[in-house]
Amino acid sequence: MTASKSSRARQARARAQAQAQRGQATARNGSTANASTSNGSTARAGTVAKPGTVAKPGTVAKASTLVQAASPARAVATRGGSLDRRGARGLARQQETTAEPEAPSTTTIPVWFQLTTWILSLAGLGVSIYLTIAHFTDQKLAACAESGAINCTKVTTSPQSYVFGIPVAVLGLAFFVAAVALMSPWAWRWARREVALIRIASLVVGVGFVLYLVYTELFTIGAICLYCTSVHVITFLLFVLTAFAAAAWGLPERQRG
């Protein structure tokens, strides 16, 4: 009886100790769960953190969780769970590469147009040189009649062949020397507003002078000079082309100092 009672007592003590150990383990697990709940929650797979949210200490994000950062740097989840962060500089560079190039502010005059005006100016310069030489050497102009409505000698030797005491041939020579420089491809490519304005102004003056000479030939002298007429036509064509260039391609912008 005594032995059975002692064994029963031992068994009861062992059961009490086991229950006590189980209670302690349960209390520890409960406190751990409470601590994890209070300090931070575990993010489930597939959850998304909205911009502006702040994760508490202890929060664990799984590999499949997508985190959207509120800062300019974006965090993108990759397969291995690593984050590829793109800063604001990277995004700006990407936008610059994808942006369409801006159109140029000024349009370049076509090469064929530059050469056309330059060749016309050279032709006018050649005729003016010939007329100037013939005026000072008293030579007859080649292939030009001296009677009737077409009479080059009558026109070139008339009192109207001088303007303010200067031979008209010399004035034409000076005009086309300037025209060759202003109508050259280098002058067209030189994007200076002042050059364009001087080109237009000189041609306006030239066309006005041509109208005066044509009126003088028809109504005062009563004869026409073929060489003079060729110079008049070239001047008028240069005026039309220059006006067309200003209307089609505009004038260069004013240079800022």
The CATH number of whichever domain residue 139 belongs to comes to: 1.20.1440.130
- Asked whether the predicted pLDDT for residue 200 surpasses 90, the reply is yes
Tell me, yes or no, whether 158 lies in a domain. Answer: yes
Tell me, yes or no, whether 221 lies in a domain. Answer: yes
Angle (nearest 5°) at CA 52 between 47 and 57: 70
CB-CB contact of 56 with 41 (8 Å): yes
Determine which of 24-33, 70-79, 248-257 has the lowest per-residue pLDDT on average: 70-79
Rounded Cα–Cα distance for residues 237 and 244 (Å): 10
**pLDDT of 43-74, one tens digit each?**
344 444 444 444 444 444 443 443 343 444 44
Read off the pTM. 0.59
Give the closest residue to 110 by CA, choosing from 7, 255, 241, 200: 241
Tell me, yes or no, whether 97 lies in a domain. Answer: no
Residue 118: C-alpha distances to residues 31, 69, 96, 210 (Å): 96, 64, 42, 19
Which residue would you say has higher pLDDT here, 251 or 42?
Answer: 251
Burial class (CB within 10 angstroms; exposed 0-12, middle 13-18, buried 19+) of 195: middle
- Asked whether the predicted pLDDT for residue 190 surpasses 50, the reply is yes
Contacts of 216 (CB under 8 A, 6+ apart): 160
CB-CB contact of 193 with 255 (8 Å): yes
Quote the domain boundaries for residue 131: 118-249
* Number of domains composing the chain: 1
Tell me, yes or no, whether 84 lies in a domain. Answer: no
Tell me, yes or no, whether 171 lies in a domain. Answer: yes
Contacts of 30 (CB under 8 A, 6+ apart): none
Rounded Cα–Cα distance for residues 205 and 238 (Å): 12
> Which segments of 116-182 are extended strands (E)?
162-163, 166-167
Percent of the chain with pLDDT over 70: 62
**pLDDT of 210-224, one tens digit each?**
999 999 999 999 999
Residue 47: C-alpha distances to residues 62, 66, 80, 190, 202 (Å): 9, 7, 17, 64, 77
Tell me, yes or no, whether 36 lies in a domain. Answer: no
Task: Name residue 103's amino acid.
Answer: A
- Asked whether the predicted pLDDT for residue 230 surpasses 60, the reply is yes
Tell me, yes or no, whether 5 lies in a domain. Answer: no
- Asked whether the predicted pLDDT for residue 27 surpasses 80, the reply is no
CB-CB contact of 46 with 65 (8 Å): yes
Tell me, yes or no, whether 238 lies in a domain. Answer: yes
